[in-house]
C-alpha cells in the first residue's frame, strides 16, 4: 500500500504522538509530544501543532517529524516532512509522508510475568472516545499478564470499553505502595485462550512515568527470582 494513502492512518481526532529532533543549539533532545489528528487526505495528514520550547523558531516547512499511533496491529510509525504550518485559532501542521507505515515490534523494556489486579479509569477529554457526551465509563478491573518499566499487558473482560488508542489511568499496588499512571492502549489482542470472554490489552505508559525507578527495580528483582527458580 502506498505511503501516501490515508487508509492506515488514525482517524480524525485520533490520538497520536510526534517526535521532533531538536538541533544541538537547543540541546539536541528527541522530543515526543502528544497531539491529535485534525484532518487527513491523499498525501496529507494534518495534526494539531504541539507546543514546545523554541517551536516558533524551529518549526517550518521541510522539517522532518515522525508520527506514532496505536492500532489493532500494534504501535505504528511513519516519517513525514512538514509541508505547511497553519497558525489559525487551532495551529496545525500539514504533514507530507516521506516513508512507509511501519509496525514497531521491538520492545524497549524487559517485561516479566506478574500477578495481581489493577483498575483502569477513563480519562476525561480523551479525543478517541466515540461519544464524548455519553454517560461516564465505569472503572474496569484488569488482571496483570506482564509488566515493564514502560508498560504492561493486562487482561480484561471482552465487553470492557478500553480499545486501541484509548487513554486510561491505571491504579495498582507495587511492592506495598500505590502507583497511578497514565497509559495508552497500543494494542488489543482478542481472547488468546479462545473462550471469547477476555481480551488482552497492551499498555504503554505515557511520559513522565513517576514510578519508573520502582518499576525498574521490581522488574530486575523478578528477573533474579525467575533465574533462581530455573537454576538446576
Q: What is the pLDDT of residues 127-179, one digit of tens each?
A: 677 676 778 899 999 999 999 998 999 999 999 999 888 889 999 999 989 99
**Cα distances (Å, whole numbers) of residue 171 to 79, 125, 139, 178:** 34, 19, 10, 7
Average per-residue pLDDT for the chain:
86
> So what's the pLDDT on residue 130?
65
Distance (Å, whole) CA 75 – CA 59 = 25
> So what's the pLDDT on residue 104?
67
Mean of the pLDDT values across residues 69-73? 73
pLDDT at 3 over 60: no
Residue 161's closest CA among 193, 181, 135? Answer: 135
Distance (Å, whole) CA 173 – CA 214 = 11
Mean of the pLDDT values across residues 48-74? 84
pLDDT at 61 over 70: yes
Mean of the pLDDT values across residues 201-214? 89
> So what's the pLDDT on residue 1?
39
Question: Confidence class of residue 213 from pLDDT cuts 50, 70 and 90?
Answer: very high
DSSP 76: E
Distance (Å, whole) CA 191 – CA 154 = 12
Longest dimension (CA), the chain: 66
Distance (Å, whole) CA 48 – CA 51 = 9
Mean of the pLDDT values across residues 216-222? 91
> So what's the pLDDT on residue 132?
65
Q: 69-86 b/e with 16+ CB inside 10 Å = b?
A: bbbeeebbbbbbebbebe
Question: Confidence class of residue 73 from pLDDT cuts 50, 70 and 90?
Answer: low
Amino acid at each position: 500500500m502506498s505511503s501516501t494513502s490515508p487508509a492506515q492512518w488514525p482517524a480524525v481526532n485520533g490520538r497520536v504522538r510526534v517526535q521532533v529532533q531538536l538541533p544541538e543549539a537547543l540541546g539536541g533532545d528527541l522530543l515526543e509530544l502528544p497531539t491529535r489528528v485534525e484532518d487527513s487526505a491523499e498525501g496529507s495528514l494534518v495534526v494539531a501543532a504541539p507546543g514546545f520550547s523554541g517551536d516558533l523558531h524551529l518549526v517550518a516547512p521541510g522539517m522532518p517529524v515522525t508520527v506514532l499511533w496505536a492500532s489493532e496491529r500494534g504501535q505504528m510509525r511513519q516519517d513525514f516532512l512538514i509541508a505547511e504550518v497553519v497558525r489559525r485559532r487551532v495551529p496545525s501542521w500539514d504533514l507530507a509522508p516521506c516513508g512507509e507505515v511501519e509496525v514497531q515490534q521491538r520492545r524497549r523494556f524487559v517485561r516479566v510475568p506478574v500477578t495481581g489486579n489493577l483498575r483502569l479509569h477513563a480519562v476525561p477529554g480523551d479525543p478517541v472516545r466515540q461519544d464524548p457526551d455519553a454517560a461516564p465509563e465505569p472503572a474496569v478491573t484488569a488482571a496483570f499478564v506482564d509488566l515493564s518499566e514502560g508498560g504492561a499487558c493486562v487482561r480484561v473482560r471482552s465487553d470492557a470499553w478500553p480499545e486501541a488508542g484509548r487513554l486510561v489511568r491505571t491504579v495498582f499496588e507495587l511492592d506495598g505502595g500505590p502507583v497511578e499512571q497514565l497509559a495508552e492502549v497500543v494494542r488489543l489482542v482478542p481472547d488468546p485462550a479462545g473462550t471469547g470472554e477476555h481480551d488482552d490489552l497492551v499498555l504503554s505508559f505515557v511520559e513522565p512515568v513517576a514510578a519508573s525507578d520502582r518499576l525498574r527495580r521490581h522488574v530486575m528483582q523478578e528477573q533474579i527470582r525467575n533465574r533462581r527458580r530455573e537454576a538446576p
